[in-house]
């Protein structure tokens, strides 16, 4: 019988890549999506005839219990979250409900229905926040700097707690930033690549950004979903840092993106205070040695190739008018 996996957050960037990855390996894929007034299947439109899509919500434990009872997955990947850091400052309680307590609701539903289900929690480098050491490993102390980071830290520890309390195969992937042409337009990489393409096509003249000195360890989303799967194939559950080990400032992101369309970024980027955060994470750089040694995982696509790929995808999409 084909293995069966449930993905929460299947309509998001990572959900779409993970669904592709699991389908290619012969899985039956169940996608949990929340009810919305318009369809949000844009990223999985090419897959919908091969997926089982079930409405449920991380805010509603009984909806997840029913889903688990009806579909009986062997693996659950919890990717659903309010995932935008800036929004977490404006909506801290909603972020806590979904991104923190939502994890407990799902773990508890698994405990009630079938504790042998293997569980993946989408933890985040944002938990390191005001970093205590560089680079960050699985042993680095956490110091979150946003309501989102605090919520993710709760999700991380409740995953560890259910593992230790109930012997569940529950793993936490501490993923550093990962991007793709399917990245949401509000995140800085896609904001820059999309606007560079739009400026090149004469659709606008400039783009407004916040902190150009912030540094991130940026990888390619399709590489990172592979690591999620590898964690659930191990005999023992664990926590793993997934990163490239290299960091770049937002300024360099701008240089590469505008270079790809033959423009000078300094002629088009405007700094605007509204995009600065009340508290910032200045220097994220991950050490993925444990994942390399134990999972055999390594990133395939480097930062510059990733940004050039995203600009090309945005140019092509804008030319097509989508
Ligand atoms: P994303 O594109 O923002 O996707 C988030 C998903 O969560 C969407 O499918 C969204 O559904 C869903 N969702 C939100 N609230 C929900 C609720 N109450 N019930 C059910 N589903 C809900 O995020 P992503 O970039 O794919 O990231 C995937 C996960 O990894 C997130 O948990 C994120 O916090 C975490 N993470 C991401 C990164 C990164 O760099 N991408 C790094 C570390 C950790 P709608 O489509 O309906 O909004
Ligand atoms: N979004 C955004 N917009 N960020 C900007 C801008 C802007 O106009 N200008 C500068 N930045 C800076 C932010 O201040 C931040 O330091 C950095 O660019 C990256 O911002 P985002 O792309 O919004 O990502 P993030 O690092 O805050 O969060 C992402 O990565 C986390 C992992 O570290 C999200 O995907 C989170 O869900 C994820 O956990």
- Ligand 2 mutation target, pool 210, 268, 285, most atoms within 8 A of CB: 210
CA distances from 7 to 52, 65, 73, 119, 274 (A): 10, 14, 10, 10, 34
Residue-wise pLDDT for 36-85, tens only, equals 999 999 999 999 999 999 999 999 999 999 999 999 999 999 999 999 99
Q: What average pLDDT does the segment 244-250 reach?
A: 97
φ and ψ at residue 31, rounded to 5 degrees: -115, 120
Find the 303 Cα to ligand 2 centroid distance in Å.
15
Q: Specify the pLDDT at position 322.
A: 60
Task: Return the half-sphere exposure (C-beta side, CA atoms, 13 A cut-off) of residue 178.
Answer: 32
**Residue 258 structure tokens:** 């505008």
Find the 319 Cα to ligand 2 centroid distance in Å.
27
Q: Specify the pLDDT at position 282.
A: 76
Our answer on whether the CB atom of 175 is closer than 6 Å to any ligand 1 atom is yes
Our answer on whether the CB atom of 209 is closer than 6 Å to any ligand 2 atom is yes
What confidence category does residue 10 fall into, taking pLDDT thresholds of 50, 70 and 90?
very high
What confidence category does residue 135 fall into, taking pLDDT thresholds of 50, 70 and 90?
very high
Residues 127, 227, 180, 185: what is their CA dihedral angle, to the nearest 10 degrees?
A: -30
> Pairing relation of β-strands 215-216 and 248-249?
antiparallel
Our answer on whether the CB atom of 180 is closer than 6 Å to any ligand 1 atom is no
Q: What average pLDDT does the segment 171-178 reach?
A: 98
Domains in the chain, please, with CATH?
4-178+219-242 (3.40.50.720), 184-216+247-282+302-321 (3.90.25.10)
What confidence category does residue 150 fall into, taking pLDDT thresholds of 50, 70 and 90?
very high
**Residue 111 structure tokens:** 């405990």
Q: Of all atoms in ligand 2, which is nearest to the CA of residue 209?
A: 8
Residue with tokens 């750089």: 285
Q: Is 124 a catalytic residue?
A: yes
Find the 82 Cα to ligand 1 centroid distance in Å.
6
User: b vs e for 71-110, b when ≥16 Cβ sit within 10 Å of the residue's Cβ?
Assistant: eebbbbbbbbbbbbbbbbeebbeebbbbbbbbbbbbbebb
Nearest ligand by distance to the CA of 217: 2
Find the 265 Cα to ligand 2 centroid distance in Å.
19
Q: Is 213 a catalytic residue?
A: no
Measure the CA–CA gap between 308 and 252, rounded to whole angstroms. Answer: 12
pTM recorded for the entire structure? 0.98
């Amino acid at each position: 019988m084909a293995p069966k996996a449930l993905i929460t957050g299947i309509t998001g960037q990572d959900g779409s890549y993970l669904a592709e990855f699991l389908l290619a390996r012969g899985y039956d894929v169940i996608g949990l999506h929340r009810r919305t007034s318009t369809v949000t299947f844009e990223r999985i439109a090419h897959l919908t005839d091969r997926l089982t899509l079930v409405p449920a919500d991380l805010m509603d434990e009984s909806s997840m219990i029913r889903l688990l009872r009806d579909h009986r997955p062997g693996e659950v990947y919890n990717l659903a979250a309010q995932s935008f850091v800036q929004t977490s400052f404006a909506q801290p309680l909603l972020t806590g409900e979904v991104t923190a307590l939502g994890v407990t609701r799902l773990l508890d539903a698994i405990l009630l229905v079938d504790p042998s289900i293997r569980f993946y929690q989408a933890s985040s480098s944002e938990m390191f926040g005001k970093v205590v050491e560089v680079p960050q490993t699985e042993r680095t102390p956490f110091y979150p700097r946003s309501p989102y980071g605090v919520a993710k830290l709760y999700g991380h520890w409740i995953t560890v707690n259910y593992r230790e309390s109930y012997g569940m195969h529950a793993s936490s992937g501490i993923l550093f930033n990962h991007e793709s042409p399917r990245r949401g337009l509000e995140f800085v990489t896609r904001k820059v690549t999309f606007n560079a393409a739009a400026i090149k096509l004469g659709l606008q003249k400039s783009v407004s950004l916040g902190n150009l000195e912030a540094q991130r360890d940026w990888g390619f989303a399709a590489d990172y979903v592979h690591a999620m799967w590898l964690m659930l194939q191990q005999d023992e559950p664990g926590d793993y840092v997934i990163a490239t080990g290299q960091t770049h400032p937002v300024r360099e992101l701008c240089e590469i993106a505008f270079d790809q369309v033959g423009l000078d970024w300094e002629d088009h980027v405007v700094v605007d205070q509204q995009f600065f955060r009340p508290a910032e994470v200045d220097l994220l750089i991950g050490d993925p040695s444990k994942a390399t040694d134990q999972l055999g995982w390594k990133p395939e696509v480097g930062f510059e190739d990733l940004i050039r790929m995203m600009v090309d995808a945005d140019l092509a999409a804008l030319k097509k008018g989508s």
